[in-house]
Structure 1
Amino acid sequence: MTDDLGVSHGTGTPALTAVADHQSKIAALLAPTPVVVKPLADCLGLALAADLTAPISLPPFDNSAMDGYAVRSVDLAGTTPEQPVLLPVHEDIPAGRVDVPPLQPGTAHRIMTGAQMPPGADAVIPVERTDGGTEQVRMFAAVQPGAHVRRAGEDVTAGATVLAAGTTLAPSQLGVAAAVGAAELPVHRPVRVLVLSTGSELVAPGTTLQPGQIYESNGLMLAAAVREAGGEATLLRFVPDDVEAFHAALAPHLADTDLLITSGGVSAGAYEVVKDALTGTGVEFTKVAMQPGMPQGCGRYRDGVAVVTLPGNPVSAMVSFEVFVRPALRAAAGHLATRRPVRQARLTEPLSAPAGKRQYRRGRFDPATGGVTLQGAPGSHLLAGLARANCLLEIPEDVTELATGSTVDVMLLE
């Protein structure tokens, strides 16, 4: 007998965990992070914790959209290059002047971009349509009422919500917050993540490899992924395959850690230090119905620290982070947008996938054509293909073959 994932039962082989079930378990591990108030300059990439309401309108006053002259449009009626109008210039109004005098009929005020419109003026004529005079100015075109005037409240009205809670604060969001006068914002503290990469075979890039050694890449990659997702990452590397060394390496960091991410040491072989060290501590290990990334684990370690254990092969580790960890990190840190954008794309070549497992293949999506091209073979150790990819193709568990031109879902990584 087989279940809906095509996994055998009654043969002694444990059923595989569905991807969605493992996602839910990891999401449940992380509680929302505390709300802190930070200066705007320190809020980049964080999630707004409460709606931001504008105390003022934007613009806060009628102002000039051009360098030119503030006028009464009626005074320029019928003006043409052949029949210019000559007006006396009574005032200069640079941006920032607060004592702006009214404009009298039959006169002009020279005005700069962003400067407050004088009472009585209803239009601005650009300097390019004049002779640029400072005491009197010759104007060569008529203007309509409201021409080149930015009206108060045209962008934002006082009392309006300019940013909703959960908004990720990128440069433009910080810009509008500053424009309405906010000096600081309530934001969710980032999730504090300890990334632990284990393996006695691992050495630092830049050193000379000895036989049997490989350069450590998972820790750096996963720590960067945490930061890109909006978290705070501490990287702990080169912990040997020894249970006591594992616990000793973690101990100094636990008080300041919300989530521990490990990579490697969770398969079925010998010397699986992560599994050996965490079994019986509140962390459960399972096999998820996916490729790559089948061996997984999650739970809680000492002092209730959330733990996610990822496979050791680099592509497996990174795909698992995208599928399981990134959405949970962003949700806990208050972001409304927790998942990568998903698009539909057409395959530029055929592919095959294992029955009963959700496959994630590296791809290059071309938004101009809507096509997606595979990057590298399915092997979980083939990192170069992932480095070339800008998306992951998500192939459902019940699909084993797809022809060229078939439509697939792609998770955009860029």
Structure 2
Amino acid sequence: MLTAQEAESLILQLTQPLDPKDDRETVDLSAAADRILAAPVSGTQDFPHWDNSAMDGYAVRYGDVAQGSTENPVTLDIVDEIPAGSTPKKTIQVGQAARIFTGSMLPPGADTIVMQEDTQREGDWVKILTSPKPQAFVRHRGAYYQAGQPLLQAGIRLSGADIAVLATAQCLQVPVYRSPNVAILSTGNELVSPGQPLQPGQIVDSNQAALAALVARTGAKPICLGIVPDQPEILKAKMAEAIASADLVLSSGGVSVGDYDYVDRILAELGAEIHVRSVAVKPGKPLTVATFPKANSNRPVLYFGLPGNPVSSLVSFWRFVQPALRKLSGLRDGWEPAIVQSKTLQDLRSDGKRESYVWGQVRLTKGEFSFEIAGGSQSSGNLINLAQTTGLAILPIGQTAIAAGESVSLLLVNGLG
């Protein structure tokens, strides 16, 4: 049985990212948010595009105002007014100034801005009541970016700020990685879909809906293949279909040691190389990780056989699948689980035999994380108190308790990690 760290390392080694050429598509700028950039982007224009003012005030020649003060103000002739978006009409000569606004082009001849608060206007004249620094409040052309230089690097998830940069560079068509295809199936004779009437002994399949939502949140494309009964031939056909159609496969159930747990056996029959069969974690000990060669690609298809218990399935996704999906998607870095240090507000306990995860809510107050355990039973079958989970407190192997007020490692989930 592997430790969580050993399993994580092995899974990330097995995960090969999408190819930046073969797995690339071009999307409109309006559709590029949260996509992974597949190629570096460069701009064709300097930024700022031209010298401009960082303040409302007056564009002047520094030599004219170097000695200005409240006691001995310098008086200049206002020869132009330059609203934002317009082109200067005059060249500033000795003894002249132009009224200027934030973002407006600097007129020829001027090299310094005096902000409005340090002036006094009288008709077509302005008194300069201070001695500014040379080139004060001037944003020079190309000061922030020079045309042709790398603007954004490949392998980043495009945020709102990145979209602003692309818009400024007038990059209307954006090269991004395609969304990975993730096939999802649930196994078990006892399962029914959420829309079916529930008969005695049956269980609603919550795993497929939950996993599809989590997959979509990573930017991948869930392909839901439904519920498959514990019948080897039917299961084998559906697993083969999933493997052929996806970059990564998630099945839940059928990976333990019961009489109806067929997944590992069928994976072997289909030609899989099985790398992980169980992990020393709680919940989520039964975990199968396998690979299949992918036609016309050096990147294998990853297969994750997750536990059937709802909490175990989701914890396994957060701990092991989500990092693999991040790497698969083309992200350059930052695949690993987001683990931070926090203070627990209640006592935490485990049997110490496996790395144990306790779920609950994380708060960030004045720069410090705190963790509050979810009320009710911390059972792998209790899906109800998993609602609104934002973090998993981690109790290492060999540690049976962490007292309230002490530090604990937290795996951030559901948008926090």
TM-score (norm 1): 0.82
**Corresponding position of 2:399:** 399
Report the alpha carbon displacement of residue 30 of structure 1 after superposing the two structures with TM: 3.0
Q: Please list the CA deviations of residues 336-365 of structure 1 after superposition, one character each: whole Å capped at 9, or x if unmatched.
A: 111233221222222222233111111333
Report the alpha carbon displacement of residue 199 of structure 1 after superposing the two structures with TM: 3.2
Residues of 1 paired with 2:245 and 2:358: CA distance? 35
Name the aligned partner's letter for residue 337 of structure 2.
R
Of residues 358-367 and 141-150 in structure 1, the stretch that sits farther from structure 2 once superposed is: 141-150
Gaps of 5+ in 1: 1-15
Residues of 2 paired with 1:132 and 1:361: CA distance? 68
Name the aligned partner's letter for residue 34 of structure 2.
G
Q: 1:78 to 1:127 in 2, by over 3 A?
A: closer
Structure 1 SS opposite 2:334: coil
Name the aligned partner's letter for residue 122 of structure 1.
D
Residues of 1 paired with 2:248 and 2:392: CA distance? 25
Of residues 155-164 and 302-311 in structure 1, the stretch that sits farther from structure 2 once superposed is: 155-164
**Corresponding position of 2:341:** 344
**Corresponding position of 1:31:** 16
Name the aligned partner's letter for residue 317 of structure 2.
F
**Corresponding position of 2:329:** 333
- Taking the TM superposition and a 5 Å limit, the aligned residue runs for 1:6-405 are 16-35=1-20, 36-39=24-27, 40-53=29-42, 56-73=45-62, 75=64, 78=68, 85=75, 87-90=77-80, 92-97=81-86, 101-126=90-115, 136=124, 138=126, 141-142=129-130, 144=132, 145-158=134-147, 160-205=149-194, 208-250=197-239, 254-275=243-264, 277-281=266-270, 282=272, 284=274, 286-300=277-291, 305-335=301-331, 336-368=333-365, 369-376=368-375, 377-405=377-405
Structure 2 SS opposite 1:300: strand
Q: Aligned residues, how many?
A: 397
Report the alpha carbon displacement of residue 121 of structure 1 after superposing the two structures with TM: 1.5
% identical equivalent positions? 35
- Contact 2:207/2:252 (CA < 8 Å) preserved in 1? yes
Residues of 2 paired with 1:279 and 1:251: CA distance? 12
Gaps of 5+ in 2: 295-299
Report the alpha carbon displacement of residue 232 of structure 1 after superposing the two structures with TM: 2.2
- Contact 1:38/1:187 (CA < 8 Å) preserved in 2? yes
Q: 1:75 to 1:315 in 2, by over 3 A?
A: same
- Contact 2:355/2:396 (CA < 8 Å) preserved in 1? yes
- Contact 1:375/1:388 (CA < 8 Å) preserved in 2? no
Question: Could you say what the CA RMSD is over the residues aligned between the two structures, in angstroms?
Answer: 3.3
Report the alpha carbon displacement of residue 293 of structure 1 after superposing the two structures with TM: 0.3
Residues of 1 paired with 2:267 and 2:19: CA distance? 28
Structure 2 SS opposite 1:220: helix
Q: 1:98 to 1:278 in 2, by over 3 A?
A: same
Q: 1:352 to 1:98 in 2, by over 3 A?
A: same
- Contact 1:123/1:143 (CA < 8 Å) preserved in 2? no
Q: 1:293 to 1:201 in 2, by over 3 A?
A: same
Residues of 2 paired with 1:125 and 1:106: CA distance? 14
Name the aligned partner's letter for residue 277 of structure 2.
T
TM-score (norm 2): 0.81
Q: 1:374 to 1:194 in 2, by over 3 A?
A: same
- Contact 1:363/1:375 (CA < 8 Å) preserved in 2? yes
Residues of 1 paired with 2:248 and 2:381: CA distance? 25
Structure 2 SS opposite 1:388: coil
Name the aligned partner's letter for residue 372 of structure 2.
T
Residues of 2 paired with 1:140 and 1:102: CA distance? 19
User: Which contiguous aligned blocks of 4+ residues in structure 1 show a shift greater than 6 angstroms?
Assistant: 81-84, 128-133
Report the alpha carbon displacement of residue 226 of structure 1 after superposing the two structures with TM: 1.7
Report the alpha carbon displacement of residue 301 of structure 1 after superposing the two structures with TM: 5.2
Q: 1:302 to 1:32 in 2, by over 3 A?
A: closer
Residues of 2 paired with 1:23 and 1:93: CA distance? 60
Name the aligned partner's letter for residue 26 of structure 2.
K
